[in-house]
Amino acid sequence: MSAYEALDSGSGVAEFLKYPKETVAASLPLRRDDGRITMLKAWRCRYSDLLGPTKGGIRFHQAVNADEVQTLAFWMTMKCALAGLPFGGGKGGVQVDTSQLSRTEKERLARLYVSQFENVIGPRRDIPAPDVATGAAEMAWMMDEYSRLQGRLMPATFTGKPIALGGLVGRTEATGEGAFMIFEYFARQLNLTKDDTLAVQGFGNAARFFALAATDAGYRITAISDSSGMISHEEGLDIKAICNVKDKGGSVADTDQKNVQKAVGQDILKHPATVFVPAALGGVVNAGNAKNIPCKVIFEIANGPVKPEADAILESQDIHVIPDILANAGGVIASYIEWTGNLRGEQHDRDQVSYILRDHLIGAAKRTSEMVSDAKGDIRKAVYMAAIKRLSQSYSVLYEI
């Protein structure tokens, strides 16, 4: 079921959400450390502000393009609606391979992005956050640049900032830890037990905190991959040791755990685990490989890891898919807490953050469960139906006469 088919609920909101509200493209002249200029393509899309200011991360990746940014912004629209947040959906991107940039070049790029898109973003208009290859440092530089351009401190314009600059305790962990809250909710319904194993693709911000939460709760992660390769161990990988390796700039394959098997990254799709957790990039499960994935559940932490044409193949094999806009909503929920705190000049402690995070996530999961029978058991369709229900309410007040 495509998102648009799910959208076609008979309400005018389907037509309204057919195209993004605005997508701004720019070319950024990045000055390199040796004085040369490299031109980089960049975008910011505000897909819909029906429910509030647009919200969504900024991705730095060599393959990002306008279509991908718009699709990601559409998913943010659905995610914020599903999570019950007063936000619309947006997303940004720069086509760049950050492994080729120094720290000072990354800082110049972050500031350049803000100077280019100054009129698009703003605390009541469009509020960016981290995504692939951006994190607290990029948000700090961006917030500082925006504040400089506006002539006053503007912390509520970006979320995912360092705590010392108005960031939220627990935002860094929120996507992964929130994902585990959703995982536990569905584990009960799908009869998963601690004997079931997990394979995690990617070991960045989102994957790391999911893996730590899952292993703390007693699950075994038997395979992990990153952009350099895959490791596996049938008794379970030592996640804390892998975190230490990554913190020193290594890749998962550099772990020194004994009897670990190494393979190329793509092999994670063939690893025999009960649950496959894509937590890196989109489109990794496609019509070509969907029938060979040896799992019972796909738990989508990445945005869009399963291509639409693969959904039907997975369904025909009784593989359950827990969809991205629910599984990874913890990040934007924490961003909402950070944003409200910045607007009001208030701080939240870790317990308050966990409480609000769980409350919104479980609320979204329950709204999904309420739709599952109308969606004939299709959880992806159910999350879209729950999101569209909320969008339709605002749409009908504003536009239906």
Ligand X SMILES: O=C(O)CCC(=O)C(=O)O
Ligand Y SMILES: NC(=O)C1=CN([C@@H]2O[C@H](COP(=O)(O)OP(=O)(O)OC[C@H]3O[C@@H](n4cnc5c(N)ncnc54)[C@H](O)[C@@H]3O)[C@@H](O)[C@H]2O)C=CC1
Of ligand Y, ligand X, none, which one sits near residue 337, judging by CB under 5 to 8 A according to partner kind? none
In degrees rounded to 5, what are phi and psi of residue 191? Answer: 55, 40
Binding mask 313-352 for ligand X (x = CB under 6 A): ---------------x--xx--x-----------------
Sheet of strand 229-232, all strands in order from the earlier edge strand to the far edge: 261-263, 229-232, 220-226, 197-201, 275-278, 297-299, 320-322
Which tokens sit at 35? 């004085």
Q: Which active-site residues does the annotation give?
A: 91
Helices (H) and strands (E) in the chain, counts: 13, 12
Q: For residues 96-135, which are near ligand X according to CB under 6 A? A: 129, 131
Of ligand X, ligand Y, none, which one sits near residue 55, judging by CB under 5 to 8 A according to partner kind? ligand X
Task: Kindly indicate which of the ranges 41-49, 52-60, 116-124, 238-246 contains the residues binding ligand X, using the contact rule CB under 6 A.
Answer: 52-60
Site size for ligand X, by CB under 6 A? Answer: 14
Place of tokens 């895959």: 230
Residues in contact with 160: Cβ distance below 8 Å, sequence separation at least 6, in sequence order: 57, 129, 130, 135, 136, 139, 167, 171, 172, 331, 335, 338
Give which of 62, 58, 123 is closest to 93, Cα–Cα.
58
Of ligand Y, ligand X, none, which one sits near residue 280, judging by CB under 5 to 8 A according to partner kind? ligand Y
In the set 53, 88, 170, 204, which binds ligand Y (CB under 6 A)? 204
Cβ-based nearer residue to ligand X, 44 or 271: 44
Using CB atoms within 10 Å of the CB of residue 29, give its burial: 0 to 12 exposed, 13 to 18 middle, 19+ buried: exposed
How far apart CA 134 and CA 117 sit, in angstroms, is 17
Q: For residues 302-321, which are near ligand Y according to CB under 6 A? A: 302-303
Cβ-based nearer residue to ligand X, 85 or 230: 85
Cα pseudo-dihedral 177, 183, 185, 188, rounded to 10: -140
Minimal distance, residue 323 CB to ligand Y, in Å: 12
How far apart CA 48 and CA 43 sit, in angstroms, is 16
Cβ-based nearer residue to ligand X, 76 or 109: 76
Binding mask 255-294 for ligand Y (x = CB under 6 A): ----------x-------------xxx-------------
In the set 126, 131, 173, 378, which binds ligand Y (CB under 6 A)? 131
Q: Point out which residues bind ligand X (CB under 6 A).
A: 55-57, 76, 79, 129, 131, 159-160, 303, 328, 331-332, 335
